[in-house]
Amino acid sequence: MKRHVVNFHYTLRDSAGNVLDTSAGGEGITYLEGAGQIIDGLDTQLRGFAAGTKTRVQVAAAQAYGERDPAQVQRVPRAQLPVEGELHVGDQFQTGTDRFDPVVTVAGIEGDMVLLDANHPLAGVDLNFDVEVVSVRPATDEELRHGHAHGAGGCGHG
Ligand SMILES: [Zn+2]
């Protein structure tokens, strides 16, 4: 099957209509179809749309960032956390110094103990994307070999 490189703008809302994220004002998202560059449910449902199409795409939590896993919430002594200053419910920080270390959210504070939620912030959230497809073009052989979309200057790793 022929694969495409697609650029689109989106506004993401939860089921209550709250805006969670938007690409408005930026360059939009560019991805290679079927390469895992965007969440599966969105990738699949945007197939076949022409440039200029505006559509709403709904992606159930299970096809987006997964369901919430209660086992991912842990009670940790405040003193063990790598965070200076005051903590607030909703604060997010990395569990270590490497940029790939997981991000956790403070779900509660109980005296000297802190409840840390390692679920993705969008886990368990049904996602509603208002999408505008900006451009669609066939993927190049190089992009197919690399498994991702390239901008005007390629990706720099040959
Ligand atoms: Zn590349």
Tokens 């270590």 locate to: 96
Taking the centre of ligand 1 as the mean of its atom positions, its distance from the CA of residue 82, in whole angstroms, is 36
Taking the centre of ligand 1 as the mean of its atom positions, its distance from the CA of residue 59, in whole angstroms, is 28
pLDDT per position as a tens digit, 123-149? 999 999 999 999 999 999 999 999 999
Q: Please, which residues bridge with residue 110 across strands?
A: 113
pLDDT per position as a tens digit, 48-88? 999 999 999 999 999 899 999 999 999 999 998 888 888 99
State the Cα torsion 27-42-59-131 to the nearest 10°.
Answer: 40
> What's the chain's length in residues?
158
For residues 39 and 20, give the distance between their C-alpha atoms in angstroms, rounded to a whole number.
15
Residues 6+ apart with CB under 8 A from 153: none
Its pTM stands at 0.77
The domains of the chain, with CATH numbers, are: 4-65+123-146 (3.10.50.40), 70-117 (2.40.10.330)
